[in-house]
Chain A
């Protein structure tokens, strides 16, 4: 079974400050990890993913995430947050199998960036 935990329901940060959204996962095998963002009344937008290679992956809108195998974590970071980054962020994990590609999502973390 695979699972994802996002320990913070909400993260508040001042504009211009660093933003971190935490994610830990549990899978039996090598994980493929994703971050998605959901703006109010919108669908999920893909931000970035880790498949293999460098542990630090860069994605859209200045976001990056670091894969840490020993801590089974994949935290999302942005050096300088913008008010427009306020949204709901989802971490997700999957294992690629012949039978399909099932994304298991964390519960989501709401990010509020204050001016």
Chain B
């Protein structure tokens, strides 16, 4: 009964390839996020979706395209992978409005991407 799940857990691929990372949450939240953690463990937000609508897009290259088929899913597609894309990508979700748990973001286990 994992709250926020991501697949795959590990992803090793060649430069130039296109890959996708999937995220699902079963918390009934209406907002989902993608964060990137670099090799120095620094965490930075990439995107935020609220009810399938893009809310935050933080100067991320166009090669990164989030897709939200419904409010429980937020996938991340990366085109033409580069060496610098190697990182851990975390999905998160939160309840945007109402309730005591509002604002708290719950994170998935992460996807470790290695571009060779």
Contact = CB atoms under 8 A, between A and B. Distances in A.
Interface of A: 32, 34, 36, 38, 42-46, 49, 51, 88, 90, 94, 96, 99-105, 107-108
B90 A44 contact: yes
Nearest to A34: B104
Contact of B90 (A32, A43, A88): A43
Interface of B: 4, 31, 33, 35, 40-45, 48, 50, 55-56, 58, 90, 92, 94, 96, 103-110
A96 B43 CA distance: 19
Given A44-B92, A105-B42, A107-B42, 8 more contacts: A34-B104, A43-B90, A43-B110, A45-B107, A46-B104, A101-B103, A103-B33, A104-B45
A96 B103 contact: yes
Contact of A49 (B43, B48, B103, B109): B103
A94 B41 contact: no
Contacts of B42: 105, 107-108
A44 B103 contact: no
A46 B108 CA distance: 11
A43 B108 contact: yes
A90 B104 CA distance: 14
Contacts of A46: 104-107
B98 to A, nearest CB: 12
A43 to B, nearest CB: 4
23 contacts: A32-B103, A36-B107, A42-B109, A43-B107, A43-B110, A44-B90, A44-B92, A46-B105, A49-B103, A49-B104, A51-B103, A88-B41, A100-B56, A101-B31, A101-B94, A101-B96, A102-B58, A103-B33, A103-B45, A103-B92, A105-B43, A107-B42, A108-B42
Nearest to A99: B55
A102 to B, nearest CB: 5
Contacts of B108: 43
B3 to A, nearest CB: 10
Contacts of B105: 34, 46, 101, 103
A46 B105 CA distance: 8
